[in-house]
A and B are shown apart, each in its own frame.
Chain A
Amino acid sequence: MFQETVTILESRQVADNVHTLAFASERIARATRPGQFLNIKPNSSLDPLLRRAYSVHRIEGDRVEIIYNIVGQGSAIFASKRPGDPLDVLGPLGVPFHYEGEYATAVLVSGGVGIAPMPVLGAALAALGKRVINIHGARTAGMIANDGRLIDPRFATDDGSLGFRGNVVGALGQYLEQEGAADLRVFACGPNRMLSALGGFCNARGIALEVSLECQMACGIGICQGCPVEMGTGDRKYTLVCTHGPNYDFRDIILDSLPSVH
């Protein structure tokens, strides 16, 4: 992990209230593994004081991109950045997805900006020779963040304005009906209630599910102890999402212990 002042390459809106920010960092681009995150200071001011944690969305050469909704003071500042502006970035942080192993198909399920870790994960899985399918959901077609580069995408919208009408759990059910659930793992990121519904669905069918959690953090490196998630297995009551996560086997955690960010 590094603390680096990087230069912004691009800031743009890619869907309704969905924004991306790209910067150049050879070290961070090279070191980042699928599912890792960055802790980024919105500006040098004391207000907002803390960094904001974002999953790495895309890596292309030295170009690193994050994706986010504007939900508050910090993200509004990120959206006001322009190419050439400096950015104080700490990362890459967290334990990557546990995506290696013997299985044929990876289904990457995301809701909203939960799409963040999927392109980097999809590329790594494809490099391992896995079949990759993306199921991405949002409330409406206008909120779908599709840059045309997702591997084998299927979409779900609550209003049916794009793809499957309903949520990503329904869309996953439809996929499994068509393709079967053999030799498959699901990786997911999105709102807690989506992960919770998906967890119930996968547990009932014995499908392996790894979830990438989002929560408020201060340091991102384990020194503040501010981001616990309750464990359902093992001998520790809590682990820290920043250093033990953010990617967990769904069966190991008690998701309801984690307050929803949005």
Chain B
Amino acid sequence: MPSTEITIRNVTFKNPVLTASGTFGYGLECEAFLDVSRLGGVVTKSISRKPRDGNPPQRIAETTAGMLNSIGLANVGVDVFLQSKLPLLRERGATTIVNIAASSIEEYCEVLEMCEEQEGVSGYEINVSCPNVKDGGLNFGTHCPSVAQITRELRRRTEKMLAIKLTPNVTSIGEFARACEAEGADAVSCVNTFIGMAVDVRTRRPKIATITGGYSGPAIKPIALAKVYEARKAVSIPIIGIGGIMSAEDAIEFMIVGASLVQVGTALFIDPAAGVKIAAGIEGYLAEQKMDSVRDLIGSLDTSMQPSLIAAGWS
């Protein structure tokens, strides 16, 4: 049996497939469809200090092979999360990464410190890149000194795995990844959603209430892969690859390009068990390729030759 384990800092993920923040609730909604302990990990919905209502409807719209969302970080707040969600995730054997969103550096620190006191938190992913809220979110994530400062302040406060989730809506994601690495982040998650838009031509109204929103799904995969590739060249810390992963093959592409872990997001809206199916598919691929470990995939991209016609899709 090939090894599918990946270790980042002091967390060993049993396989490289995690659920992306905001696409799997608090990890407890889908128990009819899967055992969450079979996932590499569960990244929670973004948790803020106080509960957030989220944005008004319409929050979602389908686009060609993708979707727009503008949820606006609706969440129960850290108190309710720690009281009523985290203990259940722990009971079910999930490797839980708490995603934190905030509108100030103090709020990020406060939420993290509250989580530090709890059992069952394996690590953190910091959302500095939500495109759908005015306070916090993108105005941190597109300002490199802010990302660096948030990373620095949180690193001082935890020995647990700390990943920073980056936005692709910047000129150079590599620069942001380097800032995170320099301030002690254990990993960078690449990428959050792209800013996108769709219009109803009959009414000439935007299809979502905030006019623009976060664009996700299989349509963004090639752009996300290019962002992971750029980050890979910029830093040596692990990268968590995210963006339109629908299948094991998609996940393997991200790992070949340089991701150590991947997150599955939009796919869960169609198949809540997609994460465990993709993990099984990766294991099957490793066996088929006679590889001993999934780690051998990471960054194994062969750029020594021109792509073959078959690889270019002309088979």
Q: Which residues of A contact B (CB under 8 A)?
A: 1-3, 41, 46-51, 215-219, 221-230, 236-238, 243, 257-259
Pick the contact of A219 from B56, B218, B272 — CB < 8 Å? B272
Please state if A238 and B218 are interface contacts (CB–CB under 8 Å): no
Residue of A nearest to B58 (CB): A259
Q: In the complex where A3-B272, A223-B30 touch, is A229 in contact with B57 (Cβ < 8 A)?
A: yes
The range of chain B's interface size is: 35 or more
Q: Which residues of B contact A (CB under 8 A)?
A: 22-25, 29-30, 32-33, 45, 53-54, 56-62, 64-67, 69, 71, 74, 217-218, 246, 266, 268-273
Please state if A224 and B66 are interface contacts (CB–CB under 8 Å): no
Please state if A224 and B69 are interface contacts (CB–CB under 8 Å): yes
Q: Measured between C-beta atoms, what is the minimum distance from A39 to chain B in Å?
A: 9
Pick the contact of B58 from A3, A41, A216, A222 — CB < 8 Å? A216
Q: Tell me which residues across on chain A come within 8 A of B64, comparing CB atoms.
A: 47
Q: How many A-B residue pairs have CB under 8 A?
A: 94
Residue of B nearest to A228 (CB): B57
Please state if A223 and B268 are interface contacts (CB–CB under 8 Å): yes
Residue of A nearest to B56 (CB): A257
Q: Tell me which residues across on chain B come within 8 A of A1, comparing CB atoms.
A: 32
The list of the 4 closest CB pairs from A to B, nearest first, reads: A226-B60, A237-B53, A219-B269, A218-B269
Q: Tell me which residues across on chain A come within 8 A of B217, comparing CB atoms.
A: 46, 49
Q: Measured between C-beta atoms, what is the minimum distance from B297 to chain A in Å?
A: 24
Please state if A227 and B57 are interface contacts (CB–CB under 8 Å): yes
Q: How many angstroms between the C-alpha atoms of A51 and B269 in the bound complex?
A: 8
Please state if B246 and A46 are interface contacts (CB–CB under 8 Å): yes
Q: How many angstroms between the C-alpha atoms of A3 and B276 in the bound complex?
A: 15
Please state if A258 and B54 are interface contacts (CB–CB under 8 Å): no
Q: Tell me which residues across on chain A come within 8 A of B59, comparing CB atoms.
A: 225-228
Q: In the complex where A49-B67, A49-B270 touch, is A221 in contact with B29 (Cβ < 8 A)?
A: yes
Please state if B218 and A46 are interface contacts (CB–CB under 8 Å): yes
Please state if A226 and B71 are interface contacts (CB–CB under 8 Å): yes
Please state if A228 and B54 are interface contacts (CB–CB under 8 Å): yes
Residue of B nearest to A1 (CB): B32
Q: Measured between C-beta atoms, what is the minimum distance from B204 to chain A in Å?
A: 15
Q: How many angstroms between the C-alpha atoms of A2 and B71 in the bound complex?
A: 26
What are 11 A-B pairs with beta-carbon distances under 8 A? A1-B32, A49-B65, A218-B62, A222-B25, A223-B24, A223-B268, A224-B269, A225-B25, A226-B71, A227-B59, A237-B53
Please state if A47 and B65 are interface contacts (CB–CB under 8 Å): yes
Q: Tell me which residues across on chain B come within 8 A of A236, comparing CB atoms.
A: 53
Residue of B nearest to A73 (CB): B62
Q: Tell me which residues across on chain A come within 8 A of B74, comparing CB atoms.
A: 225, 228, 238
